[in-house]
Amino acid sequence: MWKDPLWLLWMLPALAATALAAWTAGRRRRRLNALLGTPATLGRLIPEQAASRRSLKTALQISALALIFVALAGPQWGIELVASKSRTRQILIAVDTSLSMSAQDVSPSRLEAAKRDLALLLDELSGNRIGLMTFSGEPAVICPMTLDMDALRQAADSLSPDMLPVPGTAMGPAITQAAQILQQYPGVKSLVILSDGGDHKSDPLAAAKAAAPLGIRIYAIGFGTMEGAPIPLKDSSGNLTGYKKDDKGNTVITRLHEDVLSALASATGGTYYRANADQSEVSAVAQQILKTTQAQSVSSSTDRYRNHFQWPLALAFVLLLAGFLIPETGDIWGKAKNAEKLFLVFLLLLPGIGARAATTEGDLRAGNKLYQQQSYLNALDDYSAAAAKSPHDIRPVFNSGDALFRLEDLDEARKAFEALIDSNASPKVRSAASYNLGDVDFAAGDYKAAVGDFRKAVVLDPEDPDARYNLAVALRALKHPPPKKKNQKQNQRGAGNKNQHNNAPKPQSGGSGQKNQQPKPSPRNQISPQDAKRIMQAVAEREKPMANKFKNQAKERTPSGEDW
């Protein structure tokens, strides 16, 4: 791999011109020698080794020139993760998808009006980092913080009433989770809440007051009317079947709670607006947010090849120095004593040229070699050494998680992969970490958590067929849990542990942390690809698959109290 391979093409005519110049100089020298005297006379004046040494010096100079062109072409190998920084605003939008948002006192419904406002808000705030979450009885992030407007719009289109498994409305946990997401960014952050303000399960004002010291401002847009409206119930075909009733059999009338939304905004220095038909509230919110100061933060992480131009450049310097030290006549080592200091300086500088490659990369290669030999505990030591030398390199963390998983230390492996998922790594790296975390949870028997992990892996990398396959396996295991083995040992760390987890990816050799896609999931619950396809088709009937979309698994609900 070359950064600028055009220099290799320029090298050929440059070397040809240099060789021609050396040949021309030699020809002129021979002509001058012929004018000075006979060959026998010149042989007594000029030592025989002069010609051969002159040819050697010319060869060294031509080789050094070739290496300089190779360095200019920029040889590249190995992968490094590079974080790019930019100045943006950090905005998280939380949309209420509880059953009360189906009320039609706002045409065509509160949620549809909120989705219209959301689409316009994304247009107004384009160019800033935005995340999207939804909440009812519990919150869920359906699109992480991103600059990708297309991904946000796709996630916004997926919003539907009652899309989360826990019914009711609880803004408090949503505000708390939003604060946890936003607090990792510097400066002023904005949380936009699109809701009717109803809350039957939490204390949203206390959560808002806790978020205010973190630099988070809440901007709320209320949907609905003070008079309220009943909550329509529809079947799977969208036909009206009746209206929501409470435990006493009375029709539920849901109203806009402006006092709650206004209090949330005031507690954090934000503003509350009521939704209007002309959507003027969207422009007002956008103007308020755009007045806040932009903060510098990591905007993305990209993988790129490592540049290694220093190696051919260093070798070129060695060849030029060698040519300088070789005299045309006399004792080479005797004549070279005056250049010893120069050579010593070069020897002192040379180890620093590739110090990092000789440390972190060497430890990673040694660890991967031990891993392939199933010496996981020793491999873990090398990964830990690499992590200590390069704290910001994600590869030692990722590979350590793999080694810990092989050692059946599931708790520590889980911590490693969770740290990668919460990092600013690229989506593919976080997808690989989510995939492996799903393997960890599956091995631990937590099939519900494994379903969530594999879902997130599919969201971050929709083109990964193995993640979808594992999701189908986990869904089946959740519905029909396999029998647990007696005396099953977990969390063991021993060098002789040979237990093979067939769903554990292998570490990458110098890569960016992507998983090995073979073999398939755990043999304790193997299914055929045909069965997996049928399961995925059944899942697709309940939810629309798309990039950057993350929904919790749907489950049957039993009415309990105010579940709207």
3-state secondary structure of 484: coil
pLDDT score at 185: 82
pLDDT score at 284: 94
Q: Boundaries of CATH 3.40.50.410 in the chain?
A: 90-293
pLDDT score at 377: 80
Residues 6+ away with beta carbon under 8 Å from 21: none
Phi-psi region for residue 146, left (φ > 0), alpha (ψ -120 to 50) or beta?
beta
Closest alpha carbon to 223 in 170, 276, 167, 174: 276
Q: Boundaries of CATH 1.25.40.10 in the chain?
A: 357-483+490-542
pLDDT score at 522: 34
> pLDDT per residue over 208-244, tens digit each?
999 999 999 999 999 999 999 999 988 878 788 888 8
pLDDT score at 498: 29
CB count, 10 Å around CB of 5? Answer: 11
Residues of the chain with pLDDT under 50: 299, 335-336, 338, 341, 345, 352-358, 485-531, 533-535, 539-560
CATH topology of domain 357-483+490-542: 1.25.40
pLDDT score at 542: 44
pLDDT score at 118: 95
pLDDT score at 331: 59
pLDDT score at 144: 85
> Beta strands of 225-326 (E only): which ranges?
229-230, 232-234, 240-243, 253-254, 272-274, 295-307
Asked whether 179 and 207 are in contact (CB, 8 A), the reply is yes
Spell out the alpha helix ranges (H) of 183-230. 204-211
- Please identify, in words, the CATH class of the domain defined by 90-293: alpha beta
- What is the spatial distance between Cα 117 and Cα 109, in angstroms, rounded to a whole number? 12
pLDDT score at 86: 63
pLDDT score at 253: 92
